[in-house]
Amino acid sequence: MNNKNYRWGILGAGRIAEKFCTALAVVKGSEVYAVASRNEDRAKEYAAKFNASKWYTNYDDLLKDKEVDIVYIATPHSFHHQQAIACLQNGKAVLCEKPMSLSYRQTKEMIDTATERKLFLMEGMWTACMPSIKKIQSLIEEDVIGAPQFLSADFGFAAPLDLESRLYNKSLGGGSIMDVGIYPIALATLLFGEPTVIKTIARLAATGVDEYANIICQFSNGASAQLISSICFQTAIEAEIVGTKGRIKINNPWFKATDFSVILEDGTDQAYSFPHLGNGFGHEIMEVMHCLDNGLLQSTKVTHQLTLSVSRIMETVLEQAGVEY
């Protein structure tokens, strides 16, 4: 294990990038080295706030900086594909914020490029990197709740109805499925694999993106899932996995869960708690560092296959919802 200090280049200077950089500051062995934003004031502000050595107003300049070890892409969804390919072509390892891209074809091209160039690439699905999810997976594998039968997971919030905002902007990959629906879809895929049946009911906004989606899935083992996403109403943001012997209830907010309970048919009720390092992004950052330390080209927690499966499912869901990017 190298245990080196990793110099991160950050593409984009929005809300997610700020949370990510805040986490980098508390993870030993990582630093915000460079920030790129098309807005010069924003780039300078981020560089000052996170003690970055460099700031750029041109993304390509950051990619050509030989001191950058890995790039975190935190721009809107529609830019991920082009920017990740550019990063890889410049020899940079990449952590790309979810969703990886707007389509399965784009996602596969990104992964194929990373594989061909022997470079690390990972989708920023932080949920899969959290200790709580790892523990839940192990409890299921140990047959604690019996054979899984059903999963329910929701992620909905009430955003202002602003058709000019990113959430409603089709050209930026707006809509509930892309923004938050990917979380319950990823959880179902992580636990059950790819579904054999997918049924989607959705409502579209005037801009052509979905305001909410209700997704029903069935898997080859007979298990099923109900997954809900919304940008127009608030949901409980909870998840529950039901098995033949009991169930696992993941508390709000389940997508960055620290606490969950195992409730068995025999009356046993056990609570688990896994506090985060910082704001939760630290687990994802440490997973990337572990992979780079050990020369891995993909994560064992957020595998390329998981990313491809989720991308394929989302493409089907979007098609059924009537959304086309």
Residues 6 or more apart whose Cβ sits within 8 Å of residue 175: 167, 168, 205, 209, 210, 211, 231, 323
Mean pLDDT split into 10-residue runs, the chain, 325 residues: 83 95 94 96 94 96 97 97 98 98 98 98 97 97 97 97 94 97 98 97 98 98 97 98 98 96 96 93 97 97 98 98 96
* Cα torsion angle, 245, 250, 255, 257, sign: negative
Tokens 């109403």: give the residue: 233
Residue 264: closest CA among 245, 277, 288 = 245
Are 144 and 119 spatial neighbours (Cβ–Cβ below 8 Å)?
A: no
Quick: pLDDT tens for 162-209.
999 999 999 999 999 999 999 999 999 999 999 999 999 999 999 999
Domain ranges, ordered by start, for the chain: 6-125, 128-279+309-321
- Residues 128-279+309-321: name the CATH superfamily: Dihydrodipicolinate Reductase; domain 2 (3.30.360.10)
Strands (E), the chain: 6-11, 30-36, 54-56, 70-73, 93-97, 121-124, 148-156, 197-204, 210-218, 224-230, 239-243, 246-250, 259-264, 269-273
Pairwise CA distance, residues 306 & 308, whole Å: 5
- Mean pLDDT, all residues of the chain: 96
- Residues 6-125: name the CATH superfamily: NAD(P)-binding Rossmann-like Domain (3.40.50.720)
